[in-house]
Amino acid sequence: MGRLGLLGCVGVLILVLVIGGIWFVGVRNHLVDLDQQVLGQWAQVETAYQRRADLIPNLVKTVQGAANFEKSTLQAVVEARARVGQMQAPAGGPPGSSGSTADSAPNNPAAFQQFAQAQDQLSGALSRLLVVVERYPDLKSNQNFLELQSQLEGTENRISVERHRYNEMVQAYDTAILRFPGNIVANFSGFKPRPYFKSAAGAEQAPSVDFNFNTK
């Protein structure tokens, strides 16, 4: 009876280990699925931002054709786009990343903040440019500019949608790796919380432009 009892205990232990292993693998696979959804949506965010960046050279070229257009406003857009372009340069991302700030951003809060700030600065510069355009009737009636403006506005809407979807997927992922008992699997497997997009400070306010031309 003692031997049978020992065999029974061993059998129960093996059964518990098998069930525990199946549970662990199941939870880990679920976290992997959520993680891949976040990365897939991040690619959509990058695509939308890239679409905007691709529109800017033609926009700048068109605006440059307007007589006496404010160089400082135009220069701000050019410089902001250049900073966004630098996000694609090697930035020492974490192991397994392609090395660019943009690609490493979902895994690196500091890189994510740099990426988001650069994009927000470009958004602000473009917003100010479109406000300043109100001073120039020729631009407001320029068919090429109007088409670019329409494409840009559509792209900004797409960016907003993709960012919102990304935040939703990050919320589902972060909740899963922080909530018990998923956090146990996450800790053993190296899953880390991912950062969210946040509204830029002052984004709710329209850019102010001084239309008071001082004359001497």
CA 146/CA 59 separation, integer angstroms: 10
Query: Is the predicted pLDDT of residue 154 greater than 50, yes or no?
Result: yes
Q: Which pair of structure tokens corresponds to residue 6?
A: 């020992």
Mean pLDDT calculated for residue range 143-166: 93
Query: Is the predicted pLDDT of residue 78 greater than 80, yes or no?
Result: yes
**pLDDT the model gives residue 213:** 31
Give yes or no for a contact between 129 and 63, defined as CB atoms under 8 angstroms apart.
yes
Residue 211 resides in a domain: no
> What is the residue range of 140's domain?
2-91+98-189
Please tell me the total count of domains within the chain.
Answer: 1
Percentage of the chain modeled with pLDDT above 70: 82
Distance of CA 135 to the CA centre of its chain: 33
Residue 196 resides in a domain: no
Residue 200 resides in a domain: no
pLDDT digits (tens, 9 = 90+) for 24-40: 999 999 999 999 999 99
Residue 35 resides in a domain: yes
pLDDT digits (tens, 9 = 90+) for 92-102: 333 334 456 77
| Degrees, nearest 5: CA angle 212-213-216 | 130
Burial 114-146 (b: 16+ CB within 10 A, else e): bbbebbbbbbbbbebbbebbeebeebeebeebe
Mean pLDDT calculated for residue range 68-97: 73
**pLDDT the model gives residue 15:** 80
Residue 208 resides in a domain: no
**pLDDT the model gives residue 10:** 74
Residue 9 resides in a domain: yes
**pLDDT the model gives residue 14:** 85
Query: CATH number, domain at 158?
Result: 1.20.1440.20
Q: Average pLDDT, whole number, for the chain?
A: 83
**pLDDT the model gives residue 210:** 39
